[in-house]
Amino acid sequence: MKKILFGFMLCAGAGLPLSAIADVYKIIDADGRVTYTNVPTKGAKKIEIDPPPTNGAGASSGNEKAKTPASFPRVDKQTQNTRDDKRKEILRAELEAEKKALDDARKAYVEGESMPEVYKGANGKTYRNVPKFEEKMRRLQADVDMHQKNVELLQKELEALN
């Protein structure tokens, strides 16, 4: 957890001016736990962190489009169209398979709904096992939801290609 926090601090600090960057220290306790802090403590080792570039070379607002290097291999329009058509064909096949899986999941849900979970008691009576039934229905619903989301995402991707 502390490593994640340290990484977040580094990322967040990368956009700050150089004067805002503090020294960072690493402490390993007797149990082997690692702690990062900006407070110098006995036994702590200072971590050297390279400052962010001052010329703006590494800082990006995210609004610029990355430029393709001139040496990057190019493909002709016909080759790219063939690749795009093949991708659309693959996505359509995946969409059809996912729609079938969604239909199967919906059928399994309806079938599961009609078959409650039961058990026989010591006296020979049959009782409903409601928690087991609810868990089964949650799994079946999660399966339906997953396939529904996959169908939506595939449709969205296909629409973006057209």
Per residue in 52-91, pLDDT tens?
776 655 555 556 678 888 888 888 999 999 999 999 999 9
Query: What 3-state DSSP class applies to 108?
Result: helix
For residue 103, being part of any structural domain is answered with: yes
Do both 38 and 93 map to the same domain?
Answer: no
For residue 59, being part of any structural domain is answered with: no
Do both 31 and 93 map to the same domain?
Answer: no
Token pair 């169908």 is at which residue? 151
Could you tell me the pLDDT band of residue 142, with boundaries at 50, 70 and 90? very high
Do both 43 and 90 map to the same domain?
Answer: no
Which amino acid does the sequence have at 7?
Answer: G
Do both 100 and 29 map to the same domain?
Answer: no
**Mean pLDDT of the chain, nearest integer:** 83
The mean per-residue pLDDT over the stretch 141-154 comes to 96
What are the distances in angstroms from CA 57 to CA 14, 15, 61, 110?
Answer: 12, 12, 11, 58
CA distance 74 to 82: 14
For residue 19, being part of any structural domain is answered with: yes
Q: What range defines the domain where residue 37 resides?
A: 2-47
Residue 17 has pLDDT above 70, yes or no: no
- Cα-Cα-Cα-Cα torsion 106, 110, 112, 116, nearest 10 degrees, comes to 160
For residue 33, being part of any structural domain is answered with: yes
Do both 101 and 30 map to the same domain?
Answer: no
Residue 8 has pLDDT above 80, yes or no: no
For residue 60, being part of any structural domain is answered with: no
CB of 129 closer than 8 Å to CB of 115: no
Residue 18 has pLDDT above 50, yes or no: no
Do both 82 and 30 map to the same domain?
Answer: no
Residue 139 has pLDDT above 80, yes or no: yes
Residue 102 has pLDDT above 70, yes or no: yes
For residue 66, being part of any structural domain is answered with: no
- Count of domains in the chain? 2
**Quick one: pLDDT at residue 86?**
95
